[in-house]
Structure 1
């Protein structure tokens, strides 16, 4: 039985941007836009009437502040989740959005693949949440699956949505190779270990660095030529 589409309300004062966001959302399987609000009164009314599962919320719109709206939603509409989509780049705004319970914070201009990644992750989150709500007793791994945020290493496995051009099986091999050597490995060493080319190895290693799950240092070796040495980032 197919699950019903997740209902989305877009709160965005720019009508053209709201329409672009709507088209993006409706290209992603399992989501349906049920309303668009361009100011606070419209947003409040549609939240009450539509009771959406997800809101795409801008920070800047006339007569109000999206962060105030975020707090209102979290207080008055506990079953509704929020993804911020905004041009606001101030660290304080990002921090308040995260502390306010936003599922994600996506900066404009909106990139379709970035939105799709978040919505796929959100859909999986809701599926797990619904399933676990019917479970009497939860394990640590059950709770960990519901944790939203920076991808991380757990029990030797990398939990991350892989973008286009990154194969999950190859990524797992690279992760395991790094985990096998605490001293660190070069792209060439990883390539030999997993049976891939040096350029492929480097691409996956740099992907892990970009995700924050590994880091790279320069090592000058015997002949003085610098090489990037990759290490698994330890999580506290």
Structure 2
């Protein structure tokens, strides 16, 4: 059974915290294990729960999120952080990036943008843990897959062929990665809530860019089916 990523939300506005919780739990593989609304609660919950990921605001009545980020880095270096904030100052962004945040999302949150980040983070999280279990040394190609996660399919939908959208493409690829023995377009469509035709279009695009391979499966009844697998 696949590990569920444990998330702590640190946000002083309870209404926004609840919205963020619902957004997170719409994405398979995540669970919100706590919500903190101030510095004391945040530190206590991090110490007790030690989550995998913290969603952190910057503006609080009793603290600054950047300072809280530094505290997390000092005491819990393995916890990942996504900033979710109204702060638009370039210096604040720079400090957050120096603190090693996975992403920096401006409020108000757009669901598609947030979901895109969570899909990317989940892929990064599983890949990192898989590598840590399998080996001590890592190659350049694997490093590039981890660090250049936003460039896998280009930085914007405009760089993709017409009818191919990055978020859907990443969902399709994430499904294929889970089925090492292969999966059909129809099965992918059911899992992502799309038609067989749509899922096949995305799968064939992944084949064309050498991310996925396609084989023909000849069943005892009916027409042959294309089986898609992650390229090794």
Offset from partner CA, 1:136-175 (integer Å, 9 cap, x none): 33211011111056526xxxxx46696995346xx9xxxx
Q: Is the 8 A contact 2:120 2:149 kept in 1?
A: no
Offset from partner CA, 1:108-142 (integer Å, 9 cap, x none): 00111111100110011111111111213321101
**1:100 maps to 2:111:** no
CA spacing shift, 1:160–1:131, aligned 2, 3 Å: farther
Secondary structure of the residue aligned to 2:67 is helix
Task: Name the counterpart of 1:166.
Answer: 164
Q: Is the 8 A contact 1:7 1:33 kept in 2?
A: yes
What RMSD in Å do the two structures reach over aligned CA positions? 2.2
What CA distance in whole angstroms lies between the structure 1 residues aligned with 2:13 and 2:38?
10
What CA distance in whole angstroms lies between the structure 1 residues aligned with 2:90 and 2:42?
25
**1:136 maps to 2:143:** no
What CA distance in whole angstroms lies between the structure 1 residues aligned with 2:148 and 2:39?
28
The 5-angstrom pairing of residues 59-78 of structure 1 reads 59-78=58-77
Structure 1 position 44, deviation (Å): 0.3
CA spacing shift, 1:161–1:48, aligned 2, 3 Å: farther
Structure 1 unaligned segments of length 5 or more: list them: 153-157, 172-236
What CA distance in whole angstroms lies between the structure 1 residues aligned with 2:22 and 2:143?
33
Offset from partner CA, 1:51-86 (integer Å, 9 cap, x none): 000000000011100000111111111121000000
Secondary structure of the residue aligned to 1:97 is helix
The 5-angstrom pairing of residues 45-84 of structure 1 reads 45-84=44-83
The 5-angstrom pairing of residues 88-127 of structure 1 reads 88-127=87-126
Task: Name the counterpart of 2:183.
Answer: none
Task: Name the counterpart of 1:207.
Answer: none
Structure 1 position 49, deviation (Å): 0.4
Structure 2 unaligned segments of length 5 or more: list them: 170-232
Q: Is the 8 A contact 1:117 1:161 kept in 2?
A: no
What CA distance in whole angstroms lies between the structure 1 residues aligned with 2:23 and 2:97?
23
Task: Name the counterpart of 1:36.
Answer: 35
The 5-angstrom pairing of residues 222-233 of structure 1 reads none
What CA distance in whole angstroms lies between the structure 2 residues aligned with 1:161 and 1:116?
15
CA spacing shift, 1:66–1:167, aligned 2, 3 Å: closer
Number of matched residues? 163
What CA distance in whole angstroms lies between the structure 2 residues aligned with 1:161 and 1:3?
30
Task: Name the counterpart of 1:214.
Answer: none
What CA distance in whole angstroms lies between the structure 1 residues aligned with 2:154 and 2:164?
14
Structure with bigger helix share is: 2
CA spacing shift, 1:148–1:63, aligned 2, 3 Å: farther
Q: Is the 8 A contact 2:66 2:95 kept in 1?
A: yes
**Which has more radius of gyration?**
1
